A and B are shown apart, each in its own frame.
Chain A
Amino acid sequence: MTNSADLVLDGLARRYGSTTAVARMDLTVAAGELVALLGPSGCGKTTTLRMVAGFIEPSEGRILLRGKDITTMPAHQRDTGMVFQSYALFPHLSVAENIAFGLKRRGVPKPEIAQRVARMVALLQLQGLEARLPKQLSGGQQQRVAVGRALVINPAVVLLDEPFSNLDALLREGTRIELRRLQTELGLTTLFVTHDQAEAMAISDRIAVMNKGRLEQLGTPREVYERPATRFVASFIGRANIFVSRDGRSEDGIPLDGPEGTLVLRPERVTLDEAPAEGPNAVAGTVDLLSFLGTGTQAVLRLPGGRQLLVEGPASLADRFHTGGPATARWMRDDLVALPAE
């Protein structure tokens, strides 16, 4: 890979009094790459994004954009295009004027402004809405105007703060696919904030998992899912059964054949049958819950030690087992993934 680094966060930190919103964060976004900042609410995603945009001053560290140190540069001189969570469309300006705002500030000649706005309007399927005010648009349309306004200036990096959180589920999925298509076609370097792991998995090149202001893991969606670096990452990205294995047994006495230490077992790796549990990597329990999800069935197995084991299997699970009945869970040695020692 000879991809140049477009955006570099170098030990970036922000404190508010005694609380640390973001703790010494190192992150590199390559040209044309989409990196998701993923984490629960309050973990410092927005603070990170706003430091890049220049609205919040870092307490420590540096920000490099295309090799230039922009840490102390005023927001309006940075070449970033931000899409706000609440869109922040100018309520007194029409759709076309909103999109043209950044071009005007840059002194782009009028005919070119008209041309670029028209192209953006077409790209985002906003034709016919140019003269409307933001309040006369649906949520999805407002969201597209916000995206268009940020993209039309060709920023060095696009910053998106939970851009889909105000859309309903159906629209959200379509919109994120559209955005990903646009981002790849235009080769936009993008930093994308979300608390929704499915969303991050679906559209990112890499995911930066944050927790309590700290970057816990940075990797491709598959890496963070298949080889989580911490217990937090394992349970935040997808669902996980976590064992602490010592001398071939978990902390609650389940015989395990696998590595020692903290182990992650994904629910879809567990199979259920009626045979008795014998040997390691098998445990009998009682079915607590069976929920049919359409694509499959999710089961919760209560084990003698009190643990609730998560299982995901084919839809037929719902026919073979019933709530309150017995079942035996099994998995393979390779399904137990060890977390690096903490």
Chain B
Amino acid sequence: MIEGARRGLIAAGLLAPAALVFAILFVWPQLGLFLQSLGGPPTFSRFLGDSYYLGVLGNSLLLGVCVTLVTLVLGFPLAFLLARAETRWAGLLLLLTTFPLWVSAVVRSFAWMVLFFRSGVASRFLQGTGLVAPDFQLIGTFAGVVIALAQVLLPIMIVTLYAVIRGVDRDLEHAAMNLGASPAVALWLVTLRLARGGVLAGSLLVFSLSVSAFATPSLIGGARAHFMAVTIYEQTLELLDWPFAAAIAAILLVISLSVALTYGKLLGEKTR
């Protein structure tokens, strides 16, 4: 009994600093934000009743899904190879993949802009394939934003997946192959099943960072960047409608949180 109480105290003590910081720097401002959104004319109904704003929300969610899928598809093979590489260099290679994170979002976006303008290499390449109009440019397009965001978020996906795949015993893949599964089937039935937690965690991180991203969408998306964070910025600094900006922020938070909770539940089910 006393032992249990002591343990509870220790746990509370260990949690207290983080909880305090979280409460002061996150919960309290968020509450303030929420209260602010209630001041003045109805804001939530304005957002939810306006097809333009719903479109912005849809755009942001679609962006999140696209970036998550792109980073997952590109990141998994790389993370798998790094995790299974029998070389001392694997750690260094992993470090190399995180380089995009070391460069400021503004600098990185400017670099992408150079490539994405009508005369830029990336746009030129697409014009060359004949799949797009001759005057096509990636700048200002949804695809351009997805590419630029995927580049910076890919390392987060890779690092998350790498850690989880490393944790899957290689002999499990061997056992599957020994029992007649081709390497691809072994990967699907064993490694991917066991790395599911990592896939979900990586997706969650990338998704939430994508839907709330500001710098890359506004720089690459330009005037047509109808995304949540950009809209919040406009409402706050250009239109000075703080209650409405606060409402959009609250809606974004609720959406992100519900995605997080759903993912969390899926994660929980995995460890039955």
**Chain A residues engaging chain B, CB cutoff 8 angstroms:** 53-55, 74-76, 78, 80-82, 84, 86, 88-92, 101-102, 105-106, 133, 149-150, 153
Contacts of B182 in A (CB 8 A): 74, 76
* Min CB gap A77→B, angstroms: 8
Contacts of B179 in A (CB 8 A): 76, 81, 101-102, 105, 149-150, 153
Which residue on chain A has the smallest CB distance to residue B179?
A: A102
- Could you write out 18 A-B pairs with CB less than 8 Å apart? A53-B174, A55-B174, A55-B177, A75-B174, A76-B177, A76-B179, A82-B175, A82-B178, A86-B169, A86-B171, A88-B169, A88-B172, A90-B175, A92-B194, A101-B179, A105-B181, A105-B185, A150-B179
Q: Is B178 a contact partner of A75 (Cβ separation < 8 A)?
A: yes
Number of A-B contacts (CB under 8 A): 64
Q: Is A81 a contact partner of B190 (Cβ separation < 8 A)?
A: no
Cα(A130)–Cα(B169), bound, Å: 23
List of 6 A-B pairs having minimum Cβ-Cβ separation, nearest first: A102-B179, A105-B180, A88-B171, A88-B175, A75-B177, A76-B177
Cα(A102)–Cα(B175), bound, Å: 10
Chain B 152-195 per-residue mask, 1 if CB under 8 angstroms from chain A, else 0: 00000000000000000101101111111111011000100110
Q: Is A76 a contact partner of B174 (Cβ separation < 8 A)?
A: no
Question: Among A82, A92, A102, A150, which residue has its beta carbon within 8 angstroms of that of B193?
Answer: A92
* Min CB gap B271→A, angstroms: 10
Q: A90-B190, A92-B194 are in contact. Are A84 and B171 (CB under 8 A)?
A: yes
Within 8 A of A (CB), among B98-139: none
Which residue on chain A has the smallest CB distance to residue B180?
A: A105
* Min CB gap A79→B, angstroms: 9
Q: Is A90 a contact partner of B172 (Cβ separation < 8 A)?
A: yes
Q: Is B180 a contact partner of A81 (Cβ separation < 8 A)?
A: no
Cα(A139)–Cα(B194), bound, Å: 21
Chain B: how many interface residues by the 8 Å CB criterion? 19
Q: A84-B174, A88-B175 are in contact. Are A76 and B194 (CB under 8 A)?
A: no
Contacts of A149 in B (CB 8 A): 175, 179
Which residue on chain B has the smallest CB distance to residue A81?
A: B178
Contacts of A91 in B (CB 8 A): 172, 194
Which residue on chain B has the smallest CB distance to residue A85?
A: B171
Cα(A265)–Cα(B11), bound, Å: 65
Contacts of B174 in A (CB 8 A): 53, 55, 75, 82, 84, 88
* Min CB gap A108→B, angstroms: 10
Which residue on chain A has the smallest CB distance to residue B270?
A: A92
* Min CB gap B140→A, angstroms: 45
Q: Is B190 a contact partner of A53 (Cβ separation < 8 A)?
A: no
Q: A76-B181, A76-B183, A105-B185 are in contact. Are A84 and B193 (CB under 8 A)?
A: no
* Min CB gap B259→A, angstroms: 24
Which residue on chain B has the smallest CB distance to residue A75?
A: B177
Which residue on chain B has the smallest CB distance to residue A82?
A: B178
- Give 7 new A-B contacts, CB below 8 A, not counting A80-B178, A92-B194: A53-B178, A54-B178, A75-B177, A81-B178, A82-B175, A101-B181, A149-B175
Q: A92-B193, A105-B185 are in contact. Are A76 and B178 (CB under 8 A)?
A: yes
Q: Is B171 a contact partner of A54 (Cβ separation < 8 A)?
A: no
Which residue on chain A has the smallest CB distance to residue B182?
A: A76
Which residue on chain B has the smallest CB distance to residue A86?
A: B171
Contacts of A80 in B (CB 8 A): 178
Cα(A282)–Cα(B72), bound, Å: 78
Cα(A243)–Cα(B53), bound, Å: 94
Contacts of A84 in B (CB 8 A): 171, 174-175
Contacts of B178 in A (CB 8 A): 53-54, 75-76, 78, 80-82, 150
Cα(A55)–Cα(B178), bound, Å: 9
Contacts of A90 in B (CB 8 A): 172, 175-176, 190
Cα(A169)–Cα(B171), bound, Å: 25
Cα(A153)–Cα(B177), bound, Å: 13
Contacts of B193 in A (CB 8 A): 92
Contacts of A88 in B (CB 8 A): 169, 171-172, 174-175
Cα(A74)–Cα(B185), bound, Å: 13
* Min CB gap B172→A, angstroms: 5
Cα(A174)–Cα(B190), bound, Å: 32
* Min CB gap B188→A, angstroms: 12
Contacts of A101 in B (CB 8 A): 176, 179, 181
Cα(A81)–Cα(B175), bound, Å: 9
Q: Is B169 a contact partner of A102 (Cβ separation < 8 A)?
A: no
Cα(A238)–Cα(B51), bound, Å: 85
Question: Among A76, A89, A92, which residue has its beta carbon within 8 angstroms of that of B180?
Answer: A76
Cα(A91)–Cα(B169), bound, Å: 10
Cα(A40)–Cα(B50), bound, Å: 76
Contacts of A89 in B (CB 8 A): 175
Chain B 237-272 per-residue mask, 1 if CB under 8 angstroms from chain A, else 0: 000000000000000000000000000000000001
* Min CB gap B176→A, angstroms: 7
* Min CB gap A219→B, angstroms: 29
